[in-house]
Structure 1
Amino acid sequence: MYSELEIKLFKQRFHGAVNIKGIDFQIHYALNITLNLLLAEEPLGSITLEGIEDLDLQPIKAGNVYVQVKTSNTPWHLCQLSEPLINFISQNKTTGTENSFQLVTDFEQRESIKKLFSKNCSLAEKANLVGDILKCKPLKDKRITRTQLETVILNTEIQSTTKQSLIEDSKSKLVLLLDIHPDEAEIFLLSFLYKFLDWSVERKTITKVNIYDFKTRFFENKVRGQEFEAYGRGLIDRISWREDSLPKDYFEGKKTRFGHIALGLDVRRTKWLNKIQEIFGKTRICIIREASGQGKSTLALRYAYDFWNHEYSFAIKAVETVEHSEQISNYLKSLSELGLPVSVLIDDVNHTKSHFSKIIQNCAGYPINFLITSRNDDYHYFGSVGEVSLEFLIPYFDRQEAKLIFQNLKKQNKIHTSVINSDWAYERIGSPKCLIEFIFLITQGQMLDERLSEQVREIRKNNQNDKIDFLRKVLLADACKTPININHLIVSEQLNIDYQEIIKSTNNEFVYLEDDYIHGYHWVRNSHLLKILHENYSNPAITALKTISLIDDSQKPFFLGNLSEIPGFDVEVLIENFKYIADRTDLKTYLAFLSGIFKIGEYLFFLRNKEVYQEAYDKFNEGVLLLFNAKFLPTQEIDLFSLFSDNRNFREVKELSDMITITHRGFQYVGFFVNSNEFKYEFNDTNLDLIGEVMDWFYWIKKIF
């Protein structure tokens, strides 16, 4: 039997359309013989790999030895010798000399074949066997003569062995001839096998020098990998497929975890898995893009579980700087250079993974697969990968897939008794159709927002106002992709609140902890909760003002800028009420407000004119955005339309641009903020750069406002 790694490794190298058993045995045999180049008593030689189907081994001992390696599930009969014997005869004709041959098989030979190649077989018996072979159709068709056949048989050795025997012998040779430690022989052999596959495709001639060079690179890259693991924790992890201890989370609309996939809780979306496989047949980068709730993460995790080697599958957790991207890239490249089948998952692209594209660019040219998931808007922010070849997959959830999922979960007795059928549930979830909502409804018997409303009502009924306030802050911060550090919360000024107890009571129900940060679960679930938590309460902008001090300084501009995506958020409420926290706001946070409010204003400008932008994009593709952006720059208009006034398409684009509604934009909102709120700061040697940034903002406000 073949291991999962071997099957995937061979399919990856030879695109799936191969006789895996045959290539596997041939490569292991060729690798084993290649290691004989290290024998001190052997003359300096080489081995040439003539493609995959026929391995042509040039001088290793005296003279020429040509080897064919064959596999079969059953012992051969005489006529099955026809193909290799014809090949050997053809080789003699090509060289004009009598060559030596070797036929290696992974099965025991019948007695008749053993006798044919035995030196102890009587002449009469051998003559009869030769006569029987000459009657075989392939030899008759080629008009092979008895003399030709007898000459080849006389110069051919036949050998039977097994793949496992070859592996054990190769590991012994690595230890004895290449001075590899016994504990590292297996991983070295795997790495060498991977490289050997590349050499086979290249039909490379291998010498002793190539083997020693590979050993040097192997240990250099091994050291590089160890160095990264010493300081790179928190950036990238090997994926752990341990079964999850909280399987119910999957059906309750919480974030899909690797352990959920290991338990088989998801329904395999075969259509989309096959499309991902097709993409990886053409490129090494597949990006799954769609709105939240469409099952992107679950689909990506299921693909990784089904198709990737688990030992060398990685998930990137953070890549916030160019330095991070370099560190991760070097680590991945070092593993790839070891010959290991490296695959990388980048799930949920956001600002904490904002430099993921640098990793892809750095690893271009290496056999590393990248599977990426992203909401549409996040990919537009962070997704520029340059000239690297990639393909997008945009999965959608339709009625037919709903029926398949329903039927599958029904077989597992996961459907709630109150659910009538898949069509009823599909209509009930409304539009846009959201996979996470559908699964929650059919397994729990109610809509996700109904369940969450019940839970929040229970908290309010018990007068747990501190818990409500905690959830508002934590979920708002996480929805803005800037989760709160638990240490900031615990040491905050509200000393009368036992946050540790609140975290304990909400953990694994509403929130979860990861690397000292408090996260909400799935974006769709968080959106419902934020809406429920702010019912009969002031605007989310008030929660934002109460939360800003708990956000990491570097993340505050992102937090404020992303508030525009929160349902019900009102920027004017934020501006009007800043005065209540102004005396507790430092200069760096003040700058974060300027930057964040500017972004909100620009986003609101786009939303007001989204239909015009969409119409222009649909008619003229993305090139039109350059013209629009130039005309509507927040600082100064650049009219490119006048340069092409004679072109009909440009005139039509200009007519569309004239439909844009000019209202308050980024600098106007920043101006409102500055003029509405008094903010005091002191000049000193430590904040001159920050004051310079404030002056830059004031310059543009005065110029534009």
Structure 2
Amino acid sequence: MSAIAALKGYRTQFLYSLHRIVFGVTDDYVYHIEGEFEDLDIIDNNGKYVECLQVKNLSDSLTFSDLFSAKDSFFKRIIQVSSTNPNVIAKVISFGSVSDELSDKKKLGQKLKSKGFHDNKIQTILAHYTKPMLVSEKSLYNDIVGKLKTEHPFIDPVIAVELLLSWICFSAEKQIPVTRITLLQEIQRIGIFVQERIKFHSQYGSTIIPLQVKNIDSDNIQLLKEGYISGISAKYEHILAGLDVIRYDKLNEINKAFATNNIVFVHGASGQGKSSLAYRYLSNNYIDGTMFELKLSSNFNDVRDTINSLDGLCKGLNIPVIIYIDVLPDNNHWNEVVKEFSNKSNLMFLITLRQETWNKTLLGEDYSFKDIELIFDKEEARSLYNSISKNEKDSINASFEESWMRFGNKGLLLEYMYFLNHGDKLKNKLGNQVLRLETDQKITELKILRYVCLADLYNSKVNCKKLIDKLGLDSVLAQSYITNLEKEYLLEHIEDSMYLSGMHYVRSEILCEILFDENKFINKTDYINALISLVNESDLHSFLLNSFDNNYDVISLFKEIKRNDLHFSWVGVANILKALLWKGVYDFVFVDNYLLFEGLYKKLNSGWFIGLPYDYSGTMDGTIYNSMRSIFKKMNPEILVFFDELSQKFSPKDDVYQYAKQWLSYLGGQTIDIASNADISAIGIYCFWAGHLGLTNNKIIINNPELIKIANNTNTSIEDISELIFGLESYGYSKEIISSLREFAIKKLREKYTISYLNINGNIDCIYVYNLVRFDVNSKELGGPSNILNDTSVRILELLRKPWVPIKCTLPSNLTSAYGTCALFRNITLLKYLIVHFLRYCYAVHQILHIVKCR
């Protein structure tokens, strides 16, 4: 049975309360946990107190002094409650032995008299006081499990007990009265929840991962410890093994934040202990079955499946369920999930993200939140030192002041922890490991390490098999090389050994400094070129953005692709296209026209975008200032002269698309196989931009039978098909194929939303049946029936509009988060408004992409 760390001493009190309710003799009683008088107050339907129960679980025998104090006591409260409730019974429930001064009324009377109670008060107390009842945690638990097995055979009683205890705790905290009727309702909700959990877990186990308490044997603890103190990325198992340093002040900050909001961000530089802190908070405050980690796909359309799964997860429960998201750089899909569920008060989100991601993320319009920044300063270092020196007395041989000075008086929490545990800086350790490889002439191991660390630094992972082939290695020998590097905590296998990754972003960053920046004989560009064909194609977008950010150029990219005749899947094609679109935006703003944008900002401040010579949104005729020319003539004619002169200096509008056009033109005439469901939306992205940019003459060859086959696959989402149809329409593709795809889309849409009538003829007429059995229409916690029905209707219309609305009416909303936030803008010092407002007038940011001009 899992422990409820956050409840600690309250667990047995809540367990007894649950037992009393489960075995209650009547449905008329109301149970107040943490009641007005005692731990459990039981009240009849006339509002009279029937029982007042004090629950104790002490390691020693319970004595009179445990129930008595001069100011207030169990006995004084008996007098108080009995004055208006003549039939009330006061009782002590003990999970341990009880002294005879409590079980013998005569001795109890003598003790009361010795404490100054008058005879009439003593008589009142003894009249209502009954002999203490001895109980055991095991027997209460087994009784409840047995009852649930008998009366509710379709739910897992062990999970149900834990969730009911959490519900009891929640009811106590919120002072919500409980009855047997509400208990039965909660059991029904738990039944729905468990079934939904089984349903989503079987399908989305790789995306929504339950965090569960489990026993870790001593051998594994030692292995986990070696990795953790070496600075690898934190895992939940590290916290279960007790390897982290508990940061009580930060945990309290998170608690306070959740007291007023259901969305809390923790941000800070990589290596500041964000993941460890988040896992510790979850371990301390939540139980099995109510905490999950969300690992989002890089495919935007997969996010909708995740949202549907989460919707099933939070159905039926009134107790809090928490979702932990560790945001990956350049993946903005998490924001779609949080926006979707921000109104679900019983669904909590704890989100950790790097400081650079936080700085370029705009929040506040769609939901409220609290945020906590982690900064590693001297005071926190002192607290860390005290904790480690207390638990590892033999590992530290210097005072705090001395250790802090030797550390350099600044740095990251991860590095300082390593320094305290090893007596040396992490960079020195990694440098010595690299030096040893160089001294031993481990040329192949060094190449592997360079490839993997550079890819990890650029937020991508390396395909293990492709790397082995690239280096021309025997598979057995290659495995020995990789195993040796794993043992040194330099890299790791991930995702069933298909890919190689660094152990932590900070370690990869330091290793890249050593392997590339401090070695003038190694050309980083050569490794970037090679990695284009080695990294997972789903990571190519992020990899290229980071490469461009580190002075890699588009010319080198095209040379590498042409020289080696590289071929990519549709996913790879789309990700390269998206990266080149961003690169075009970056160069247009910060290379070709930077001074012009800066001049606009100095002249007009936050209204600078009025002077833009182009409208990238496609929603206006001409420019903003031309549409307002008559107004400017009256108010400020000089500004029009400024606008006109400036517009002549801007580089051509189409320069934004120059790299994307090169890529689309290069792909013309090629045949690209359709290998997976993910290729469906990728084809849609390619086709949309090829059509949008007028590059449809040099057509790419699509395998139509395979396209139809995968589109009709049960695992292909309606969202992907909708995006595909939209792209094919833009491309001017075969009307016959588009018609077939529309049939699949309608079929999937009817099945998913139980549509009984659908007519599309200029207007959309749709009648669907909402399954109220799976949704508590009276639940304000879940947003209420009006919200859920409205959201469903809007979603159906959103899915229908892309395959049927004329092309010029909208840009594809899947590009909303396909671009997310761009690594290229990480080091730009110009005010955030300048970037964001410009991007709002480009195709790449969601506020423009969601504009719909429906006829």
For 2:313 and 2:285, how far apart are their aligned partners in 1?
A: 19
Aligned AA for 2:493?
Answer: L
Q: Which runs of 5+ in 2 are unaligned?
A: 57-61, 675-682, 697-841, 843-855
Equivalent residue number for residue 526 of structure 2:
542
Distance 1:193 1:50, change over 3 A: closer
The answer as to whether partners of 2:15 and 2:141 remain within 8 angstroms in 1 is: no
Tell me, yes or no, if structure 1 residue 679 matches structure 2 residue 658: no
Residue of structure 2 aligned with 1:35, choices 19, 22, 45: 22
Equivalent residue number for residue 211 of structure 2:
238
Equivalent residue number for residue 518 of structure 1:
500
Distance 1:565 1:177, change over 3 A: closer
Q: Alignment partner of 2:344: what SS?
A: coil
Tell me, yes or no, if structure 1 residue 693 matches structure 2 residue 689: yes
Equivalent residue number for residue 414 of structure 1:
395
For 2:113 and 2:471, how far apart are their aligned partners in 1?
A: 97
Aligned AA for 2:494?
Answer: E
Distance 1:538 1:187, change over 3 A: closer
The answer as to whether partners of 2:63 and 2:102 remain within 8 angstroms in 1 is: no
Equivalent residue number for residue 89 of structure 1:
83
Comparing 681-690 with 533-542, greater Cα deviation is found at 681-690
Root-mean-square deviation (Å): 5.4
Distance 1:162 1:604, change over 3 A: farther
For 1:306 and 1:82, how far apart are their aligned partners in 2?
A: 35
* TM-score (structure 2 length as normaliser): 0.61
For 1:202 and 1:287, how far apart are their aligned partners in 2?
A: 24
The answer as to whether partners of 1:57 and 1:67 remain within 8 angstroms in 2 is: yes
The answer as to whether partners of 1:561 and 1:595 remain within 8 angstroms in 2 is: no
For 1:184 and 1:589, how far apart are their aligned partners in 2?
A: 44
Aligned AA for 1:355?
Answer: W
Residue of structure 2 aligned with 1:479, choices 441, 444, 457: 457
1:191 Cα deviation after fit: 2.9
1:325 Cα deviation after fit: 2.5
1:392 Cα deviation after fit: 1.0
1:525 Cα deviation after fit: 1.9
Q: Deviations over 1:442-472 (max 9, x none)?
A: 5545544444344334434555444333333
For 2:225 and 2:246, how far apart are their aligned partners in 1?
A: 17
Equivalent residue number for residue 50 of structure 2:
66
Residue of structure 2 aligned with 1:347, choices 302, 309, 326: 326
The answer as to whether partners of 2:418 and 2:424 remain within 8 angstroms in 1 is: yes
1:52 Cα deviation after fit: 1.9
For 1:590 and 1:166, how far apart are their aligned partners in 2?
A: 60
1:694 Cα deviation after fit: 3.1
Tell me, yes or no, if structure 1 residue 256 matches structure 2 residue 228: no
Q: Give the number of aligned pairs.
A: 642
Equivalent residue number for residue 337 of structure 1:
317
Q: Which runs of 5+ in 1 are unaligned?
A: 11-19, 92-98, 119-127, 140-145
Q: Deviations over 1:609-650 (max 9, x none)?
A: 999999999x99xx977855984979479557979989x9xx
The answer as to whether partners of 2:264 and 2:369 remain within 8 angstroms in 1 is: yes
1:208-607 matched pairs, under 5 angstroms: 208-235=180-207, 236-239=209-212, 242=216, 243=221, 245-262=223-240, 264-309=242-287, 312-320=290-298, 321-326=302-307, 328-330=309-311, 332-333=313-314, 337=317, 339=319, 342-350=321-329, 354-355=333-334, 358-359=337-338, 361-362=340-341, 364-379=343-358, 387-406=366-385, 408-409=387-388, 412=392, 413-415=394-396, 421-427=402-408, 433-441=411-419, 443-444=421-422, 446-489=424-467, 494=472, 499-508=478-487, 509-515=489-495, 516-534=498-516, 535-537=519-521, 539-566=523-550, 569-575=552-558, 577-582=560-565, 584=567, 589-603=572-586
Greater Rg over alpha carbons, structure: 1
Equivalent residue number for residue 8 of structure 1:
6
Q: Alignment partner of 1:549: what SS?
A: coil
Tell me, yes or no, if structure 1 residue 53 matches structure 2 residue 36: yes
Aligned AA for 1:536?
Answer: K
For 1:166 and 1:583, how far apart are their aligned partners in 2?
A: 65
For 1:584 and 1:63, how far apart are their aligned partners in 2?
A: 77
The answer as to whether partners of 1:89 and 1:152 remain within 8 angstroms in 2 is: no
Aligned AA for 2:530?
Answer: K
Distance 1:298 1:468, change over 3 A: same
Q: Deviations over 1:297-330 (max 9, x none)?
A: 3333344445554775433333443234225524
1:578 Cα deviation after fit: 4.3
1:160 Cα deviation after fit: 1.9
The answer as to whether partners of 2:452 and 2:500 remain within 8 angstroms in 1 is: yes
For 1:163 and 1:3, how far apart are their aligned partners in 2?
A: 20
Comparing 160-169 with 550-559, greater Cα deviation is found at 160-169
Residue of structure 1 aligned with 2:92, choices 105, 113, 120: 105
Distance 1:610 1:426, change over 3 A: farther
The answer as to whether partners of 1:174 and 1:180 remain within 8 angstroms in 2 is: no
Q: Alignment partner of 1:90: what SS?
A: coil
Distance 1:210 1:482, change over 3 A: same
1:287 Cα deviation after fit: 1.3
1:375 Cα deviation after fit: 0.9
Comparing 592-601 with 575-584, greater Cα deviation is found at 575-584
Equivalent residue number for residue 175 of structure 1:
147
The answer as to whether partners of 1:314 and 1:344 remain within 8 angstroms in 2 is: yes
Distance 1:80 1:201, change over 3 A: closer
* TM-score (structure 1 length as normaliser): 0.72
For 2:557 and 2:270, how far apart are their aligned partners in 1?
A: 27
Comparing 389-398 with 503-512, greater Cα deviation is found at 503-512
Equivalent residue number for residue 15 of structure 1:
none
1:528 Cα deviation after fit: 2.5
